[in-house]
Amino acid sequence: MTTTAASNVIATARALGYRAPKLSKLKKANTKTDVYSLGVIMLELLTGKTPGEAMNGLDLPQWVASIVKEEWTNEVFDLELMRAAPSIGDELLNTLKLALHCVDPSPSARPEVQ
């Protein structure tokens, strides 16, 4: 990636809520920062909430992780999604697990891009 392209990626990733926590410090986008952003998009689709919307002072990934930690997983999913897809609970849970894996605070713990 050229320096100009990398700068453009970082500027775009600065959009509230989509950038990986360490991207601001590293100033270099990579596949792990892309995976983080993908995870945020997946959480956005599953919850119906925007990433910039603070929930109890937490960003979207932190909020979802706190709900899952308390074992209130069904509270995470958007009601419209649950109504539209009541029989695909396992797929929703698997997608939620993948999304949380993608937004892991540690870049090395995020899935690899193949």
For residue 30, what pLDDT is reported? 81
Q: For residue 47, which of 36, 58, 63 has the smallest C-alpha distance?
A: 63
Instruction: Look at residue 18 in the predicted model and tell me its pLDDT.
Output: 65
- Residue 89 Ramachandran class (φ > 0 left, ψ -120 to 50 alpha, else beta): alpha
Give the chain's domains with CATH numbers. Answer: 1-103 (1.10.510.10)
Structure confidence at residue 31 (pLDDT): 86
Check residue 72 and give its pLDDT.
Answer: 82
Token reading at 61: 């990934």
Find tokens 């989509």 and name the residue.
Answer: 18
Give pLDDT, residue 10: 56
pLDDT recorded at residue 15: 54
Closest listed residue to residue 11, CA positions, set 43, 28, 44, 103: 28
Stretches where the chain sits below pLDDT 50 are none
Task: Name the pTM for this structure.
Answer: 0.75
For residue 107, give Cα distances in angstroms to 32, 55, 94.
6, 24, 20
